[in-house]
Amino acid sequence: MSDIPGGPMASRPLHFIWLLDCSGSMGINGKITQLNYAIREAIPEMRKAADDNPGAELLVRAVTFSSGASWHLAAPTAIQDFTWEDVYAHSTTDLGAALRLTSEALKTPPMPGRALRPVLALVSDGLPTDDWRSGLRDIDATPWGKRAVRVAIGIGEDADREMLKEFLANPEQEPLRVKNPKQLVAAIRWASTVAVATASTPAVEGDKQLATPMDRTPTITAGASDDDVW
C-alpha cells in the first residue's frame, strides 16, 4: 500500500484462550474428535472476525486439562498462523489446575500493559475433580482475568451447569449446552466469533450479545439429524 500515506491502523492485542476438557469421558462416543473438528471448523470464522475488527490483533492459545493441566498451545499465536493440533482424552477433570495455569498468563507481565479484554472460552463435559473454585479465584485476582470476556460450553447432560455459570460470573449469561456434534460446531463458532466481537468493539449495552446465544445456532432447522446421538 505504498500509494497512500500512513501504515496499518493501530491495534491492541486480543488474547483468546481455549480451556478444553480432555478428561476420559471426552473420549466416549468420539466427543474429543468432534471437539477437534469443531475448533478447526471455527478457524475461518475466527479469521473473519479478526479481519472485521482491525483494531484487534487476535492471538490464540489453548490449555487442556485432565490429570493436571498443560499448555496445548503455549505461544500466543496470530489467528492467521493458527493451526489446530488434535487433543486427546484421558484421566480426570482437573479444571482448577487449568484455571491456575491460565491465571499465571493473565498477570502483567506476561500480559502487555495495553490490550483489549482477553477471552476465556471453557469447554467441558463433566464435573471437575479438583478444587476449581480456588483456580477461579486465582483468575479473578488478576487484572486481566477479572475483566475477561467469558464463554462456556457444556457438552451433553453431565456437564456441570452450576460450575459453568460460576465461571461466566455474569448473571445475564448462560452456558451454551450442546447435545450433538452439529450444535458443538455452532457453539464453538459462536463462542469464538461473538466473544471476539464483544472484546474488540464493546457495545453501549455491555455484553448483551453474549446473552441467549443458543438462538443463533442452527437448532431451528427443520428435519431430524442423523448425528443426534454420541
Q: What are the residues binding another protein (CB under 8 A)?
A: 1-10, 12, 41, 48, 51-55, 108, 113-117, 143-144, 147, 182, 185-186, 189, 193, 197, 201-207, 209, 212, 215-216, 218, 220-223
Nearer to another protein, 134 or 202 (CB): 202
Q: Inter-axis angle of helices 132-140 and 161-168, to 10 degrees? A: 10
Which lies closer to another protein via its Cβ, residue 204 or residue 229? 204
Q: Is the peptide bond before 109 cis (omega within 30 degrees of 0)?
A: yes
Q: Closest approach of Cβ 38 to another protein, in Å?
A: 11
* Rounded Cα distance, 74 and 107, in Å: 15
Contacts 24+ apart (CB under 8 A), 224-230: 225/180, 225/182, 227/180, 227/181, 227/182, 228/179, 228/180, 229/29, 229/180, 230/28, 230/29, 230/30, 230/31, 230/34, 230/156, 230/180, 230/181
Cβ 174 vs Cβ 151: under 8 Å:
no
CB closer to another protein out of 83 and 221: 221
Read off the C-alpha cell for 46.
Answer: 475466527
Q: From the CB of 132, what's the least distance to another protein, in Å?
A: 25
Q: Quick one: 99 or 185, whose CB is closer to another protein?
A: 185
Which is nearer to another protein, 2 or 83 (by Cβ)? Answer: 2
Write down the least CB distance from residue 69 to another protein, Å.
Answer: 25
Q: How far is the CB of 41 from another protein (least distance, A)?
A: 7
Minimum CB distance to another protein, residue 57 (Å): 10
